[in-house]
Amino acid sequence: MTRILIINGPNLNLLGVREPGIYGNSSMETYLETLRSRYSNYTIEYFQSNHEGEIIDKLHSEGFDEGLKGIVLNAGAYTHTSLAIADAISAINVPVIEVHISNVHAREEVRHRSMISGVCCGVIAGFGMDSYRLAIEAIKAR
């Protein structure tokens, strides 16, 4: 089965608990069940890390796999700081879609800049957890 990989960065292990007014009440695990039943023709894999280097290692280890159709990446705060993650995305072959739950452009100015947008295929932000589903639709349509 065709694979899609979702990677979540720092603090996104706390979805459902963390600032629910911004990020909602659903845990990622619960939301993944919804995604997996909706996209049962795909294998939706999930990886979360609070560590920049682990995210880079994951991009390297998966990013040359021809069976992987796309990577949905919510790099969390590393979005705004990590040239190293941007370089990793540039280095790999698998297309990467940048995702944010919140509309980062409606928030503090520090969140308006993304280090990774220019090396991703596209960006989806502001649709709550549905941002992940919209990214999967974008990967499917490619």
Q: Quote the CA–CA distance of 15 and 88 in Å, as a whole number.
A: 25
Shortest approach of ligand DQA to residue 89 CB, angstroms? 15
- Residues designated catalytic: 23, 100
Which residue number, 2 or 10, has a Cβ lying nearer to ligand DQA?
10
Which residue number, 71 or 101, has a Cβ lying nearer to ligand DQA?
101
Shortest approach of ligand DQA to residue 8 CB, angstroms? 8
Which residue number, 2 or 27, has a Cβ lying nearer to ligand DQA?
27
Shortest approach of ligand DQA to residue 31 CB, angstroms? 12
Shortest approach of ligand DQA to residue 1 CB, angstroms? 27
No. of H helices and E strands in the chain?
5, 5
CA within 13 Å, CB half, 130 = 4
Which residue number, 40 or 117, has a Cβ lying nearer to ligand DQA?
117
Helix 28-38 and helix 130-141, axial crossing angle in degrees, nearest 10: 40
Residues in contact with ligand DQA by CB under 6 A are: 11, 74, 76-77, 79, 100-102, 104, 111
Token match 């909602």: residue? 24
Contact 125, 103 (CB under 8 A): yes
